Structure 1
């Protein structure tokens, strides 16, 4: 096995060199007093000859971890985030929750306040080093990560990094955490051996047992009204094409309920929308594909005797304590490979050329066409003013290039758009840690500078995103993200949920519902202009097409960030 022998360095430099050798492009960092050996290593790199990740200073931890989240969604390559001891780690927690629930692999590094009070390089030298000491720093996030460790010895660096990345990228994927005491980072190393090939690799993708797949094929073939419910089947091209293939060949309607990742072109004849209510009511077989929440039991009733198959890397979502959706057959395995195997078995039982499939396809395609036409017409009627979110989404769909990447955090209606390619739409993780959309879009733009990247967010979500930090990053790293704020002046999700729980209650009848208003609203355009971004406020429907055209011109030609503050009515 080929080995790389690192020259005289510190543990910090050895760690960074190992990350670079393992394909980590960037260290997204919010630095503190624990970073001194890392900063010294980056500064010494030109003379040491070590290849290190690109250091990126991100002025808020939540933005850093959401950027790593978005970078992985755009590339499939996990990145490293480092934050300042326990206080920085605390600021990452919402992002870690999002990454955990969205099965996003990333390596979260946290400094560890020095333990020694004297006698070592890196010992305590500031009052905060006593105030930041904890008995169990990793305990604050241990339930959320797949693996957690504190580096003890210099010689551990290569094997610990390999193990962390292998666990993070093994299905079901997720974040991992490594704490780094400052004294250990300062330790000298000379001639540390780094295997050129990782000593540990991610678990190879699995597929369900042949007997289980055959049973699933029997159930789908026998069903008169089969239904596919998914949330993340098409996050990457292989899953996207596999789902489209099986839906097309066997006339299987697909519903995407609150999808964090688009799985089927919205204008595909087998796309049955984003609300499972109607399709679920007539289903006699449901194939749930990588969906934590395929429907809401309180609102959507599963028909009596309807069988349910759940398929995915973790079909039972074992990390979720309470999840009572029926599961007559659990198929554990890689989504794309499993769907292709299932399709081959279905062909033996229900040929794609059969009359049953042809008639079902014709019926479903006609239903899709009528429903889509109705949705588009309703969106066009939503001009207002104030505009409805569907109207704004329609104008976006008409303006954006085919290969644009859109991140939506309570800010866009995907049902009136198209998203014909995998990786073109990402909705917010079901953990609901708000403030994710804008920095995740920044991470995707960092990964895909040639693409137009858009963040559509509610005004509340925008405030959660620490927008001053995000716009500073956009300018500093030249990330020309287009941010569209759908500004309704309130926490609309809180407003809607209160009305759902108490439809005839006092809050629903109140002129102003308590704890939901965001008025008086700041002038959001000034926040973006503070970082030299182009910004406009749009209140009338006739103003929107021109504003979008100008925004795209600035993004593409000037490579400068843009913010559009679009006034909309509550959905």
Structure 2
């Protein structure tokens, strides 16, 4: 009779909860689960393995996979050393409010069962303390029944708003024990997340009144597009009410080409806004300061009403200050985003409701024309600026971003990563981000090493559909986790990697120049220890060494689009990755 081990039950749990892939860098502390994943008798239920060469890559792969698909990829990390490597990527996911299911080996906690040396240095008391302040929940259960309960609790909590990573330590000894009598899985539905209701009647009536009275209402969005199904209803709501929309862009929340989208168009247009509705906005002060003069308390200096709808107050860290500056708002509501948008839209489109009154319709149409004119003017100007940069002797980021889009515009592209705030800013000004899910946002925590791993995860999520996944990859970020190229090649991930190589840690160079200028010192020395000028990296040769198809480095703007088209053709013909390196300012 074949013996069933507790680790086999862990694999059965992953299958029960719909996890079809797990990412990890192999480690002895979860060897029990590893064996169960590859055991022939478990072949019908075991998730596929995505092997990486670093835990930070493994977490980033799962991060990108979920953002692209809404599905979970499990992550396994090796004891304390693997968890420490993974911690930066977990922090990124925490700040990005992405639910990750992270399981870590540990132990054996029972000291009498430890092997000399290695089991002692790879066993930790309260191992979850490494990241307990930037996960939603964590546990170090001892025993089979306790571990089963922890797995279900963790899975349920990470999917309950506000979403965030969770961590459960799997004791080395418990994994390898034969399954005890009576230890079994709970029903799959036990992990069904708790749900928030939509906007209640009292809050709906209050917001309806404010929207009716407002002369210049503004809708600020940030994370609502994590549910792609909210995009179209949000567009309909904005059109029905004539709202100016400012998209903070942590997801694809609202089409960049829509005439009501006035993001990045300057502060004068909305300076007289008298109502701001912030929907799932993380950095409220940053969002408000981009459109309005503020008091030292972070509130609109003109006295505009401020209504927040979202989950921020439901999850805060006692360690990380990613909750941002406290702002005294007019009204704060915790409610389900999709349900809230639907309720507001129903009120706004009611043919017998207050928004159908001729006076409101006239006011709505007048301000919508103003917003549309500014929108068109701004996009025309951005396109002109990008075109002018193409006359420069060296490739400028705006020109490169524009030419890359020219090369892929006829494809069903998905931007998996935009690498840096500079690249991201031009993407939002030049690319038509219109399809829900076509843009996945930045890394959340500002931690380097995210881009390629997350893009691999996103491309794995799209591996069976026609989408072309595009990673606009900053060179400095890639140098943190270059071993991700191994995973990219080993699994034939159909990803277009465009290395935007300025041979700089640009943000650090800018800070160095800024402080030198403030101190009246030589800003020409700002590149020292922030650049790769004196010892540049050859990303083409690096990629080829991993077996990835890499084109010759691009150094002229007129060569950008042809190189990208050639790389796309390779991906479509072979179903394998391709890399283009662009040397730029």
TM-score (norm 1): 0.92
In structure 1, what is the Cα distance between the partners aligned to 2:341 and 2:323?
Answer: 27
Structure 1: gaps of 5 or more residues: 1-5
> What root-mean-square deviation, in Å, do the aligned CA atoms of Structure 1 and Structure 2 show?
2.3
1:327 lines up with 2:329 in the alignment = yes
In structure 2, what is the Cα distance between the partners aligned to 1:543 and 1:93?
Answer: 40
Cα distance, 1:482–1:508 mapped onto 2, change above 3 Å: farther
In structure 1, what is the Cα distance between the partners aligned to 2:356 and 2:517?
Answer: 48
1:127 is displaced (CA, Å) by 2.2
* 1:234 match: secondary structure: helix
1:12 lines up with 2:3 in the alignment = no
In structure 1, what is the Cα distance between the partners aligned to 2:312 and 2:411?
Answer: 32
Equivalent residue for 1:66?
A: 60
1:395 lines up with 2:390 in the alignment = no
Out of 132-141 and 261-270, give the one that drifted further: 132-141
Equivalent residue for 1:180?
A: 170
1:133 lines up with 2:133 in the alignment = no
2:306 counterpart (301, 308, 321): 308
2:414 counterpart (386, 405, 408): 405
* 1:184 match: secondary structure: helix
Equivalent residue for 1:52?
A: 46
* Maintained 8 Å contact 2:79/2:106: yes
Out of 22-31 and 348-357, give the one that drifted further: 348-357
1:253 lines up with 2:244 in the alignment = yes
1:516 lines up with 2:518 in the alignment = no
1:566 is displaced (CA, Å) by 1.0
1:88 lines up with 2:82 in the alignment = yes
* Maintained 8 Å contact 1:309/1:328: yes
What count of residue pairs does the alignment treat as equivalent? 556
2:437 counterpart (423, 429, 452): 423
In structure 1, what is the Cα distance between the partners aligned to 2:521 and 2:541?
Answer: 33
Equivalent residue for 1:169?
A: 159
Equivalent residue for 1:3?
A: none
Equivalent residue for 1:374?
A: 381
1:447 lines up with 2:461 in the alignment = yes
1:473 is displaced (CA, Å) by 0.2
Cα distance, 1:399–1:268 mapped onto 2, change above 3 Å: same
In structure 1, what is the Cα distance between the partners aligned to 2:53 and 2:462?
Answer: 22
In structure 2, what is the Cα distance between the partners aligned to 1:498 and 1:326?
Answer: 35
Equivalent residue for 1:567?
A: 583
* 1:171 match: secondary structure: coil
1:399 is displaced (CA, Å) by 2.1
Cα distance, 1:190–1:512 mapped onto 2, change above 3 Å: closer
Q: Deviations over 1:89-123 (max 9, x none)?
A: 001111111111111111111100323455xxxx4
Out of 299-308 and 520-529, give the one that drifted further: 299-308
In structure 2, what is the Cα distance between the partners aligned to 1:496 and 1:402?
Answer: 35
* Maintained 8 Å contact 1:315/1:331: no
Equivalent residue for 1:228?
A: 219
* 2:576 match: secondary structure: coil
Cα distance, 1:352–1:8 mapped onto 2, change above 3 Å: farther
* 2:497 match: secondary structure: strand
Q: Deviations over 1:240-297 (max 9, x none)?
A: 122211112222121123x221111111111112366344423221111111124537
1:124 is displaced (CA, Å) by 2.8
* 2:312 match: secondary structure: coil
Q: Deviations over 1:205-239 (max 9, x none)?
A: 32232211221222222111111222222222222
1:209 lines up with 2:200 in the alignment = yes
In structure 2, what is the Cα distance between the partners aligned to 1:507 and 1:477?
Answer: 50
Cα distance, 1:133–1:57 mapped onto 2, change above 3 Å: same
